[in-house]
């Protein structure tokens, strides 16, 4: 494996190999496996889990890491191609990123969607530029429409909780004060479809996922024996559900228009997960969320603190899942 940018780049067996390796590293640690190796981490956007789990995972394998947060103790990095750099951004990513890559053995980059132009974000315009600038092993720490590290950890979490491969996986839109990117919903949808699940996207009018994201998931489902559909009907979505994956995202009808999105979501306060949602679900239906989560906006306290919630397990699994990725990238 040369890069870890999208679960869709891997065969299903390669995903299962990573999950198996993650489990092995949990039970049989390899504290010197990556001795002498250096991981560079570039965060254009904030993080709690991704940053700390990569640093901890690299250290547990005997390697080391450095973190760059452009503009915070470093030069501000310009990302626009052809920019006239006469304002505050002192260095362009076309120099900055290759320089950072030259100091390490693998580089991870987080760069969220611009959130203005849906087609540009769906095309991963920004992240694709990074892939051209880095010749070393590269890890997507969350791009415009992907978060493969989260998806891998979530697959592992479902496996260890014995969630059936053909179980019903409901990806539900939930409330947030403002529009959030499509990266986690897109990656999660694809992951559950690739795992072979019966996937239902439950979302209000105005928040349908773009065709490109739905079609990619449908192709994965066709290959794995799963299925993908969408509905606005909560009873239909939740009936027999084995997993409810709650996630916030912005209106695709009003992409890039914060005021129109805010007007639409103002009427959607009832899209907060509460125990009443599970009346027709499997008795053991789990609640997943990638975190961070707004308590009592997206998910009620009593659900997050109750027995259905596996959000802390998902967050923990980021570390062993990413250790497996680092192992395969750096020891191949
Ligand atoms: N889920 C996730 O990626 O968390 P962070 O944004 O804190 O890294």
110-150: per-residue pLDDT in tens? Answer: 999 999 999 999 999 999 999 999 999 999 999 999 999 99
Residue 144 has a pLDDT of 98
The atom of ligand 1 lying closest to the CA of 290 is 1
Half-sphere exposure of residue 34, counting CA atoms within 13 Å on the CB side?
A: 29
What whole-number distance in Å separates Cα of residue 227 and Cα of residue 236?
15
What whole-number distance in Å separates Cα of residue 126 and Cα of residue 331?
28
CATH 3.40.50.1370 fits 162-309, yes or no: yes
The mean pLDDT value for 149-172 works out to 98
- The lowest-confidence range among 9-13, 139-143, 284-288, 328-332 is 328-332
125-246-173 Cα angle (round to 5):
65
The whole-model pTM stands at 0.98
If one residue of 108, 292, 311, 315 were mutated to test the ligand 1 pocket, choosing by the most ligand atoms within 8 A of its CB, it would be 292
Residue 43 has a pLDDT of 98
Residue 237 has a pLDDT of 98
Cα dihedral 33, 160, 153, 274 sign: negative
Residue 209 has a pLDDT of 98
What whole-number distance in Å separates Cα of residue 283 and Cα of residue 266?
31
C-beta 50 within 6 A of ligand 1:
yes
265, pLDDT greater than 80: yes
Q: How confident is the model at residue 332 (pLDDT cuts 50, 70, 90)?
A: confident
Q: Which residues belong to CATH 3.40.50.1370 in the chain?
A: 3-147+317-330, 162-309
pLDDT over 90 percentage in the chain: 100
285, pLDDT greater than 90: yes
Q: Whose CA is nearest to atom 3 of ligand 1?
A: 50
Q: How confident is the model at residue 65 (pLDDT cuts 50, 70, 90)?
A: very high
If one residue of 48, 288, 294 were mutated to test the ligand 1 pocket, choosing by the most ligand atoms within 8 A of its CB, it would be 48
Q: Whose CA is nearest to atom 6 of ligand 1?
A: 47
C-beta 140 within 6 A of ligand 1:
no
pLDDT over 70 percentage in the chain: 100
Class of 3-147+317-330 in CATH: alpha beta
Count Cβ atoms within 10 A of the Cβ of residue 212 and give its class: 0-12 exposed, 13-18 middle, 19 or more buried: middle
């Amino acid at each position: 494996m040369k890069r870890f940018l999208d679960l869709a780049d891997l065969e299903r067996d390669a995903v299962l190999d990573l999950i198996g390796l993650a489990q092995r590293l949990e039970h049989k640690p390899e504290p010197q496996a990556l001795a002498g190796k250096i991981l560079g981490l570039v965060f254009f956007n904030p993080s709690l889990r991704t940053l700390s789990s990569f640093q901890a995972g690299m250290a547990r394998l005997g390697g080391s890491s450095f973190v760059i947060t452009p503009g915070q103790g470093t030069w501000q990095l310009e990302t626009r191609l052809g920019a006239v750099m006469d304002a505050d951004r002192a260095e362009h990513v076309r120099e900055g990123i290759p320089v950072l890559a030259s100091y390490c053995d693998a580089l991870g980059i987080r760069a969220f969607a611009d959130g203005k132009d849906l087609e540009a974000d769906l095309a991963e315009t920004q992240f694709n530029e990074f892939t051209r600038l880095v010749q070393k092993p590269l890890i997507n720490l969350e791009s415009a429409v992907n978060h493969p590290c989260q998806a891998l950890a979530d697959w592992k979490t479902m496996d260890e909780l014995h969630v059936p491969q053909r179980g019903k996986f409901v990806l539900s839109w939930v409330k947030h004060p403002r529009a959030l990117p499509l990266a986690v919903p897109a990656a999660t949808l694809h992951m559950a479809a690739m795992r072979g699940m019966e996937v239902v996207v439950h979302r209000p009018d105005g928040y349908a996922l773009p065709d490109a994201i739905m079609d990619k998931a449908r192709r994965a489902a066709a290959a794995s024996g799963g299925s993908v559909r969408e509905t606005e009907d909560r009873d239909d979505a939740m009936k027999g559900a084995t997993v409810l994956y709650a996630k916030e995202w912005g209106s695709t009808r009003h992409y890039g228009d914060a005021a129109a999105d805010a007007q639409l979501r103002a009427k959607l306060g009832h899209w907060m997960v509460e125990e009443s949602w599970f009346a027709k679900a499997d008795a053991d239906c789990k609640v997943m969320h990638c975190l961070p989560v707004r308590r009592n906006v997206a998910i009620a306290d009593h659900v997050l603190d109750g027995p259905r919630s596996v959000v802390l397990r998902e967050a923990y699994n980021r570390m062993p899942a990413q250790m497996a990725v680092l192992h395969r990238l750096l020891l191949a």
